[in-house]
């Protein structure tokens, strides 16, 4: 009996020893694999020497959680101080154009861990009442961020408002400016469609696009119609160039951003001097919506509002052709100034 008990004890000790040795070997192998994976750290080595221009690793951990709470106003001053968070003036602004894809561009850039977006259009520089409140009021409208992150806001009315270039220049003469454009006639019709939808929601009647875009007295393009004026991109850009060199602008192809967003986003990353972080993993096509949605991680996805991608009303072909002919010389000049050519008719 004693012999059997001793044999069972030795067997148990042997099994325990084997498990201990196996666990130790696994840990050694695991540490080795982690060492090999270390160079793939998504932050390491991308922002200069460690401790100088590097974004803290915790920035990624808090970006979707903690910063969201701060944006909702749920943070205490102590929490803000503890996490070294600040409200920074934007280092880049999406200044236009309306119905060019400004919201889509802002949301897609927000995929980058070094970018923090202002969720709402601030309308600081184009609104006299807001502008009179001063630069600190504007700063307080910005989201909380880490010092090495870039804050970006978008207000498409900036592009066409005469006072805005000088006002932004006075704030920051070296700021980076993003302009997203679409084929001018398509953009004008999209502009009209948004206004039309608003009228219909209020049970109001509205003129057809053709009657607004074409002057009935001359049968020529009505340049007093705002949707038409906004699409004359070169006229507005020339006003901005009185204050900023062309190198401080980046032109985004809004039509391509819809069909093939990644190459456009990679160009913006380069313009903003950001390390490449946005990949095809972050963008997936939603067949129901008909455009790309955003994937931040394995649990958090986001599609743009259902109002995006409105169906345009049918427009008389002769009016479309007249508009395209009208915009053509302005488009050619826009290509020449910006150095970017589009296949617009």
Q: How far is CA 330 from its chain centroid?
A: 27
Q: Is 100 flagged in the annotation as binding?
A: yes
What confidence score (pLDDT) does residue 311 get? 86
Compute the distance between CA of residue 63 and CA of residue 71 in angstroms, rounded to an integer.
11
What confidence score (pLDDT) does residue 17 get? 54
Q: Is 190 flagged in the annotation as binding?
A: yes
Q: What is the number of structural domains in the chain?
A: 1
Assign residue 219 a region: left if phi > 0, alpha if psi is -120 to 50, beta otherwise? Answer: left
Q: Is 328 flagged in the annotation as binding?
A: no
151, β-bridge pairs: 116
257 found inside a domain: yes
What confidence score (pLDDT) does residue 2 get? 47
Instruction: Clarify whether 176 is annotated catalytic.
Output: no
Catalytic option among 63, 99, 117, 176: 99
323 found inside a domain: yes
Q: Is 288 flagged in the annotation as binding?
A: no
205 found inside a domain: yes
Q: Is 292 flagged in the annotation as binding?
A: yes
SS (H, E, C) the chain: CHHHHHHHHHHHHHHHHHHHHHHHHHHHHHHHHHHHHHHHCCCCCCCCCCCCCCCCCHHHHHCCCHHHHHHCCCCCHHHHHHCCCEECCCCEEEEECCCCCHHHHHHHHCCCCCEEECCCCCCCCCCHHHHCCCHHHHHHCCCEECCCCEEEEECHHHHHCCCHHHHHHHHCCCCEEEEEECCHHHHHHHHHHHHHHHHHHCCCCCCCHHHHHECCCCCCECCCCHHHHHCCHHHHHHHHCCCCCHHHEEEEEHHHHHHCHHHHHHHHHHHCCCCCCCCHHHEEEECCCCEEEEECCCCCEECCCCCCCCCCCCCCHHHHHHHHHHHHHHHHHHHHHHCCCCCCC
Q: Is 182 flagged in the annotation as binding?
A: yes
15 found inside a domain: no
What confidence score (pLDDT) does residue 208 get? 95
Taking only the tens of pLDDT, the chain with its 345 residues reads: 544 455 555 555 555 555 455 544 444 343 333 333 333 233 233 333 333 334 443 444 444 455 555 555 555 665 666 568 999 999 999 999 999 999 999 999 999 999 999 989 999 999 999 999 999 999 999 999 999 999 999 999 999 999 999 999 999 999 999 999 999 999 999 999 999 999 888 888 889 999 999 999 999 999 999 999 999 999 999 999 999 999 999 999 999 999 999 999 999 999 999 999 999 999 999 888 778 999 988 878 888 876 566 788 999 999 999 999 999 999 999 999 999 999 999
What confidence score (pLDDT) does residue 33 get? 32
Handedness of CA 183, 184, 187, 189 (dihedral sign): negative
What confidence score (pLDDT) does residue 76 get? 61
Q: Is 103 flagged in the annotation as binding?
A: yes
User: How much is the pTM?
Assistant: 0.78
72 found inside a domain: no
What confidence score (pLDDT) does residue 297 get? 85
103 found inside a domain: yes
59 found inside a domain: no
30 found inside a domain: no
What confidence score (pLDDT) does residue 192 get? 96
CATH of the domain at 210: 3.40.50.300
Find, among 310, 320, 327, the residue nearest to 193 by Cα: 310
What confidence score (pLDDT) does residue 67 get? 57
Structural domain span for residue 102: 82-338
């Amino acid at each position: 009996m004693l012999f059997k008990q001793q044999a069972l004890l030795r067997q148990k000790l042997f099994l325990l020893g084997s498990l201990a040795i196996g666990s130790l070997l696994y840990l050694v192998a695991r540490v080795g694999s982690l060492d090999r994976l270390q160079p793939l750290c998504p932050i390491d080595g991308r922002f200069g020497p460690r401790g100088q221009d590097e974004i803290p690793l915790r920035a990624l951990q808090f970006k979707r959680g903690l910063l969201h709470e701060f944006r909702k106003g749920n943070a205490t001053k102590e929490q803000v101080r503890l996490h070294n968070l600040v409200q920074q003036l934007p280092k880049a602004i999406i200044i236009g154009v309306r119905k060019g894809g400004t919201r889509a561009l802002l949301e897609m850039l927000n995929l980058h861990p070094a970018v923090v977006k202002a969720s709402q259009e601030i309308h600081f520089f184009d609104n006299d009442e807001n502008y009179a409140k001063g630069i600190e009021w504007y700063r307080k409208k910005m989201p909380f961020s880490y010092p090495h992150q870039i804050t970006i806001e978008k207000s498409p009315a900036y592009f066409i408002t005469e006072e805005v270039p000088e006002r932004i220049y006075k704030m920051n003469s070296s700021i980076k400016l993003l302009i997203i454009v679409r084929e001018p006639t398509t953009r004008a019709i999209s502009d009209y469609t948004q206004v039309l939808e608003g009228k219909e929601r209020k049970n109001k009647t509205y003129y057809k696009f053709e009657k607004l875009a074409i002057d009935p007295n001359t049968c020529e393009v009505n340049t007093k119609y705002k949707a038409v004026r906004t699409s004359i991109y070169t006229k507005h850009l020339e006003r901005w160039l009185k204050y900023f060199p062309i190198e401080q602008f980046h032109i985004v192809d809004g039509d391509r951003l819809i069909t093939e967003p990644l190459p456009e986003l990679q160009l913006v990353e380069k313009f903003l001097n950001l390390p490449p972080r946005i990949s095809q993993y972050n963008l997936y096509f939603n067949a129901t919506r008909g455009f790309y949605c955003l994937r931040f991680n394995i649990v958090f996805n986001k599609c743009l509002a259902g109002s995006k991608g409105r169906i345009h009303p049918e427009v008389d072909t002769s009016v479309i052709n007249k508009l395209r002919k009208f915009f053509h010389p302005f488009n050619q000049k826009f290509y020449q100034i910006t150095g970017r050519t589009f296949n617009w008719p």
